[in-house]
Structure 1
Amino acid sequence: MWFVYVCDEEEKELGRQQAPGSCPYCGAKVEAMDVEIQSRLCFLPLCFKIKRKYFCTHCARRLELYMDY
């Protein structure tokens, strides 16, 4: 018996905009990017998410937002 597990994740950029603050590594400007993520299993859509990712415009590092309450 053969079982094939085929999973695919596709990302599509929706838009970019200037984010407040500066990069903690190099001090350059930070850019926010909205991304649409669609997960599929054997060509059937499973999950649909929209996320915001933050990047430095100079050193191109992905930055994460930590909130301390």
Structure 2
Amino acid sequence: MACFCFLVDQRRMMRRAKPVAGTCSRCGSGAKVADMQVSTRFCNIPLYWESWKAIVCTYCGATLKSYK
């Protein structure tokens, strides 16, 4: 007998952000330090949350560095 569980949704959210000195290495725009959070839902039921800090570009949205 086989049991299948499908990943329905994984959402990445930016909780808080503050500007930081420096620029993005990809587009040259400014950067900010943000508190990031990922929430994973299986079958529309929230199951798992993970939080960390990251340096994110303000223009292109690229994650330049993350701290767990």
TM-score range, shorter chain: 0.5 to 0.7
**Distance in structure 1 (CA, Å) of the matches to 2:23 and 2:11:** 29
TM (normalized to structure 2)?
Answer: 0.58
* Aligned positions, number: 65
Residue 39 of structure 2 corresponds to which residue in structure 1?
A: 38
Cα gap change, 1:63/1:10 in structure 2, threshold over 3 Å: closer, same or farther?
A: closer
The match for 1:64 is 64
1:1-69 aligned within 5 A? 3=4, 5-58=6-59, 60-65=60-65
Structure 2 unaligned blocks of 5 or more: none
Larger Rg: 1
Bigger proportion of residues as strand: 2
**What CA RMSD, in Å, does the superposition of the two structures yield over aligned residues?**
2.9
Change (3 A) 1:4 1:46: closer
Distance across 2 between alignment mates of 1:57 and 1:41? 31
